[in-house]
Amino acid sequence: MAVPPSTYPHRLLPLFLGLFQAAMLLFFALFVTYDEPSAQEKDTSLVAHQVYSTFPFFQDIQVMLVVGLGLLLTFLPRYGFSSLTHNFLLLNFSMQWALVLQGLLHHFHHGQIHLDLHKLLISEFAAVTVLISVGAILGRASPCQLLAMATCEVPIYLASEWVIVTCLGVLDVGGTITIHIFSCYFGLGVSKALFGATQQPLHPKETPTPSSDLMSLVGTLILWVFWPSFVAVLCQPGDAQHRAILNTLLAMSAGAITTVVASSLLERDGKLSPGHLQNGSLAGGVAIGVVADMAVPPVASLALGSLSAVVCVLGFRFLTPLLGRKLTLHDQCGIHNLHGLPGILGAAASVMAVLVASKDTS
Amino acid sequence: MAVPPSTYPHRLLPLFLGLFQAAMLLFFALFVTYDEPSAQEKDTSLVAHQVYSTFPFFQDIQVMLVVGLGLLLTFLPRYGFSSLTHNFLLLNFSMQWALVLQGLLHHFHHGQIHLDLHKLLISEFAAVTVLISVGAILGRASPCQLLAMATCEVPIYLASEWVIVTCLGVLDVGGTITIHIFSCYFGLGVSKALFGATQQPLHPKETPTPSSDLMSLVGTLILWVFWPSFVAVLCQPGDAQHRAILNTLLAMSAGAITTVVASSLLERDGKLSPGHLQNGSLAGGVAIGVVADMAVPPVASLALGSLSAVVCVLGFRFLTPLLGRKLTLHDQCGIHNLHGLPGILGAAASVMAVLVASKDTS
Amino acid sequence: MAVPPSTYPHRLLPLFLGLFQAAMLLFFALFVTYDEPSAQEKDTSLVAHQVYSTFPFFQDIQVMLVVGLGLLLTFLPRYGFSSLTHNFLLLNFSMQWALVLQGLLHHFHHGQIHLDLHKLLISEFAAVTVLISVGAILGRASPCQLLAMATCEVPIYLASEWVIVTCLGVLDVGGTITIHIFSCYFGLGVSKALFGATQQPLHPKETPTPSSDLMSLVGTLILWVFWPSFVAVLCQPGDAQHRAILNTLLAMSAGAITTVVASSLLERDGKLSPGHLQNGSLAGGVAIGVVADMAVPPVASLALGSLSAVVCVLGFRFLTPLLGRKLTLHDQCGIHNLHGLPGILGAAASVMAVLVASKDTS
């Protein structure tokens, strides 16, 4: 790993991770089981149906997180390999950790947790928050710091998700509020706490090369392609899921075009900035999540996608340097521009959609 | 973007794209809507079935176009990043543009276009023609020239597809004629019109490096893997779709092996040419499209795959230099060898298949 | 190709491959056909169901073998392009060869072989053994040697699989014994036979670079993501398939974390070895194959995943250098550590699982 070994004790990482995996083994041995095999034929075809309707979406999301997000983070050539590794490690760590916590909170019946694909998927969503937050401190934090962050973030996410979805009754099928906004501000808070005091100069090797920009853009494109699966996987099968897929496709497409418009207007010589492309193209997907399965017209998805791309590019151009100067807030990957601002835009759109819908029906 | 900024006005690209996206918003606001939510439970399960049977194919095709084709075009290291970006931009632009045109032509009922996944898929197919044609002028045309080409090509494609499929009644499930042959000769025409007069010398940096050849081959492999989805997505579910998948798999497999044979026979020292591998392996998929769902025997798919690979490799070795010398026709990616020649071969095969079938039944 | 052309006659490769493809054409023309189109509507929906339940898994496995395994093998920068090419060529060659042999052995009725997706899948599994064995001699053998090996290995695999599965009645849904253990020791045997006598010094360019390590890790991650499809594709739909997916996911996740633990404990400065990550993360998938669809508790999958990662990393650190020194046995990619040792572990686990299950029911 690229972090100089002198900054953390060598044995802390394997010790912490080894104890964690041992504790997982103990917990699974005591409390986790599978459903009893279905006795009846009808149940079998039901299970088969669930597998076929969820598993392809699940695989798409795994590709997004492991390959797509991993490659997106390799834009700093010096940290390319470790970014990919850390992303992979944190996904597995957070997923197992969320599985345990969610099992204890929600699914603990008669002393046992019955594991199924849906519970793994929900845990994967919890892990996404960690992977997003990491973007704020990429290449600056040691693996142990990242794991400590993940250990704290997962339970706080579960609590905040419970408050937002269960207590407040907010519908957020694509995780715009519960995942993107939450993890963005959590990550920025961690960045401020860890590195806020020091005005760190940029490492001379912390500049993307053409080759690392290309790999990172490939990551963006993989995320872009599979984003509809991420938004639609938890929707009601049928109309709602179909609409969520269409809305997400429209928002992603408008976002991609608008990113090019915004970026080439802002750059002096009309060239496109790789960073804008890598992030702006995805902003539409962040914003659309919260309204994707609602009965919004197609034009709303297009508009929301365009608007979030504009906001994202403007954020990179003006807000990130400003935050760095005024608040000494470092945001290495610009997660505030990709997850924070479009998330807030999506949340505002969902409030409007609900107001319009309630006016229509009254 | 790598094209020197002096060759086009800086503000033309964002202006054009911005106006386009604004016009899209207006059009969608006025005319595009979703289907009414299905009231009955039976309809819901029908929609769900359509989603599960089309969406995985749709995602496969998106991966092909955005990641696979994008990477295939990065073989010129100097234009790697902009090839990937232009491909992505053109896909989104052409898809939205085709959505509007096809909506107006075919799906305009009571002043409204009802959007669904199938219509998006059909528009994506229209966008493919643009992405193929671009291969002829890759790295030579400015983004604005590419967008102007896409603006013209999509309506011409729709007209030609209407003539071929609706008027002439040609069955072309994999788009061999309507997509591959059409876009090849359209692209060559544009190349001749734009750059035909000048005998351009090759830019010294326009040589593939080992690293760019590797990335390009990865793109080929992604296209190779998902090609059966492209050919089979529009087939009748059941036997026809099953047969289309099998025929495509056989043709792709035979094409891959035959490419190695042809390439190592033609090269003096027996080494394989990266360009042959990157293109020849896919030629079988181009040719098989038009007969894939017909009742052709397995040996015909194998033979067609082999033959198109041979034709493609021969084209690269002899025809492309000849066209460049005699007609000053530049074909940067060799689309004539990958899409033109195998497409003509496939069309000839489909004529034979129809003749044989009509003789059998008479 | 990187192998110096003087080591083999230039024309042998195209001659051999060309004859092979011609023989395939002849064989297909004489003996291979498709099923008759189903006459009844019910049959059509049955075929459609089979397509939708098998085809997505099939595509996942194709991505694993063509893109994932191909990229994993590019860690030697000097042989990157040819590794990817050879892997692709061998997959197609072995798949067609296995299709013929399996057709002759198992599916030859009334002088015809009825081709379907399932038979292609089974042939693909046979091809996997070749792709694994190649890892032992990567970058040292000429393409002709590789093809000769594939020609021999496929029939021997089919015989050994017939003995293990049909005669001995071993259940091995994920191919732990029939594929991984078999191909590992076959590959090591070939390596010993071809290069065992000479103590070859490492070529100076045979060292992974940061860039080739990154690409190789991307290959690992693609394999990691799609491994559950590989293990579950041949399971009974319903509970068994669901459980196979979950068991594989758990084993892969535990394996990924434990690899980091083991690797950073073994390396002096606590840094992670790219080779350990690229292989150890997948060891859990190798071991779980044989028990994946059995009624093992979740904790057993976690434990098996962890244990195989430990064994794999220990193998790289201690066993591979030992075998090289004592037996002059070269294992270029460490297939003994990734396929041999975890495979044996999985086989032992399956014996335990069967013993426990038979004790429970008695």
Chain B residues in contact with C47 by the CB 8 A cut-off are 238-239, 242
Chain B partners of A218 at a C-beta cutoff of 8 Å?
67, 70-71, 84
Q: How far apart are CA C124 and CA C130, in angstroms?
A: 10
What is the model's pLDDT at position C4? 47
Residues of chain A with pLDDT below 50 are 1-7
Nearest residue, CB atoms, C51 vs list B242, B258, B261 = B242
* Residue-by-residue DSSP string for B171-231: --TT-IIIIIIHHHHHHHHHHHHHHSSS-PPPPTT-S--HHHHHHHHHHHHHHHHHHHHHH
Helix, strand, or coil here: C331?
coil
* Residues in chain C closer than 8 A to A44 (CB atoms): 237-239
**pLDDT score at A201:** 55
Residues of A in contact with B62 (CB under 8 A): 225
| CA nearest to A294 within chain B | B37
Residue with the bigger pLDDT between B173 and C16: it is C16
| C-alpha distances in Å from residue A11, one per residue of A143, A262, B23, C177, C260 | 12, 47, 60, 36, 12
The pLDDT tens digits of the residues spanning C177-190 come to 999 999 999 999 99
8 Å CB contact of A44 and C237: yes
Q: What is the pLDDT of residues C205-263, one digit of tens each?
A: 578 888 889 999 999 999 999 999 999 999 888 888 999 999 999 999 999 999 999 99
Phi, psi at B60, each rounded to 5°? -55, -45
Interface test with B, best of A59, A229, A302 (most B CBs within 10 A): A302
CB B285: neighbour CB atoms within 10 A? 29
For residue B33, give the H/E element and its range: strand B32-34
Which residues make beta-bridge pairs with A109? A112
Cβ pair C20:B257 closer than 8 A = yes
Of A28, A45, A211, the CB nearest to C302: A28
Note the pLDDT of residue B239.
Answer: 85
- Angle A121-A124-A128 (CA atoms, 0-180°, nearest 5)? 140
In chain B, which residue's Cα lies nearest the Cα of A276? Answer: B85
Do residues B29 and C28 touch, judged by C-beta distance below 8 A? no
From the list B362, B316, B360, B361, the residue with the least C-alpha distance to B340 is: B316
DSSP code at position C167? I
Confidence of residue B312 (pLDDT cuts 50, 70, 90): very high
Nearest CA in chain A to B45: A238
The CA distances from residue C308 to B85, C132, C240, C342, C344, in Å, are 42, 18, 23, 5, 9
Question: How many whole angstroms separate alpha carbon A180 and alpha carbon B217?
Answer: 35
- Gap between the Cα atoms of B127 and A293, Å rounded: 27
Most C CBs within 10 Å: which of B63, B214, B281, as the mutation test of the C interface? B214
Above pLDDT 70, what percent of chain C? 91
The ipTM assigned to this model is 0.92
Q: How many Cα atoms within 13 Å fall on the side-chain side of residue A262?
A: 28
Q: Nearest-CA residue of chain C relative to B220?
A: C67
User: Would the pLDDT of C3 be above 50?
Assistant: no
Question: Chains contacting A with at least 3 CB pairs below 8 Å?
Answer: B, C
The answer to whether B23 and B106 have CB atoms below 8 angstroms apart is no
Candidates B249, B271, B303; nearest CB to C5: B271
Residue A293 to chain B, least CA–CA distance (Å): 11
Which partners does chain C have (≥3 C-beta pairs < 8 Å)?
Answer: A, B
Q: Which residue has the tokens 């992303």?
A: A87
Give the burial class of A38: count Cβ atoms within 10 A of its Cβ; 0-12 exposed, 13-18 middle, 19 or more buried.
middle
Q: How far is CA C21 from CA A156, C14, C15, in A?
A: 60, 10, 10
Residues of C in contact with B256 (CB under 8 A): 88-89, 92
Cα distance from B57 to chain A (closest Cα, Å)? 11
The Cβ of residue A169 has, within 10 Å, a number of other Cβ atoms equal to 7
Q: Is B21's CB within 8 Å of A261's CB?
A: yes
Is-contact B342 B311, C-beta < 8 A? yes
Please report the pLDDT score of residue C245 as a whole number.
94
Cβ contacts below 8 Å, chain A against chain B, sum to 141
Contact list in B for residue C80 (CB cut-off 8 A) is: 210, 214
- Which chain C residues are Cβ-neighbours of A51 within 8 angstroms? 237-238, 241-242, 245
Residues in chain C: 362
Provide the shortest C-alpha distance from residue C181 to chain A (in Å). 27
Mean pLDDT along residues C142-149: 92
Mutate to test the interface with A, among B24, B74, B226 (most CBs of A within 10 A): B24
For A48, nearest residue in chain C (alpha carbons): C238
Q: Let me know: does B306 contact C21? Beta carbons within 8 Å.
A: yes
Q: What is the mean pLDDT of residues B48-70?
A: 89
Shortest CA gap C87–chain B (Å): 11
Which domains, and CATH codes, for chain C?
A: 55-195+209-360 (1.10.3430.10)
**Which residues of B are less than 8 Å from C84 in CB distance?**
214, 217-218, 221
Token readout for B325 is 């010398």
Task: Kindly indicate the confidence band of residue C199, based on its pLDDT and cuts at 50, 70 and 90.
Answer: low
| B19-38 confidence digits (pLDDT tens) | 999 999 999 999 998 877 65
Tens-place pLDDT, residues C21-73: 999 999 999 999 887 765 555 566 677 777 778 899 999 999 999 999 999 99
> C267 vs chain B: nearest CA distance in angstroms?
30
pLDDT tens digits, residue range B178-220? Answer: 999 999 999 999 999 988 766 565 555 578 888 889 999 999 9
Nearest CA in chain C to B293: C37
pLDDT computed for residue B5 by the predictor: 44
Q: Do B59 and A249 touch (CB under 8 A)?
A: no
Residue B221 to residue C88, Cβ atoms within 8 A = yes
Q: CB–CB of C282/C346 below 8 Å?
A: no
B231: nearest Cα among B184, B172, B160, B278: B172
Query: Which positions in chain A touch C221 (Cβ < 8 Å)?
Result: 66-67, 70, 84, 88
Across the interface, do B59 and A225 touch by the CB < 8 Å criterion? yes
- Interface probe for B, chosen from C34, C76, C90 (most Cβ of B below 10 Å), is C34
Do B242 and C96 lie within an 8 Å CB cutoff?
no
Chain A partners within 8 Å of B18 (Cβ): 258, 261
Report, as an integer, the average pLDDT of B219-228.
96
Q: Write the residue in B43, B55, B81 that is nearest to A210 by C-beta.
A: B81
CB-CB under 8 Å, B28 with A270: no
Set of chain A residues whose Cβ sits within 8 Å of the Cβ of B32: 297-299
Mean per-residue pLDDT over chain C, rounded: 88
What does DSSP assign to residue A141? Answer: S
Contacts of C254 in chain A (CB under 8 A): 21, 24, 96
Q: Which residue in chain A has the smallest CA separation from B20?
A: A257
Average pLDDT estimate for C117-129 = 94
Residues of C within 8 A of B214 (CB-CB) are 74, 80-81, 84, 215
- CA C173 to chain B, closest CA, distance in angstroms equals 24
Which residues of chain C have a CB within 8 Å of the CB of B297? Answer: 28-29, 32-34
Q: Do A299 and B211 count as a contact with CB atoms less than 8 A apart?
A: no
Of B347, B240, B257, the residue nearest B309 (C-alpha): B257
DSSP string, A67-110: IIIHHHGGGSGGGHHHHHHHHHHHHHHHHHHHHHHHHHHH--BT
Query: Tens digit of pLDDT for each residue in B38-53?
Result: 555 556 677 777 777 8
**pLDDT exceeds cutoff 50 at C5:** no
Residue of B nearest to C13 (CA): B261
* B261:C21 CB<8 A: yes
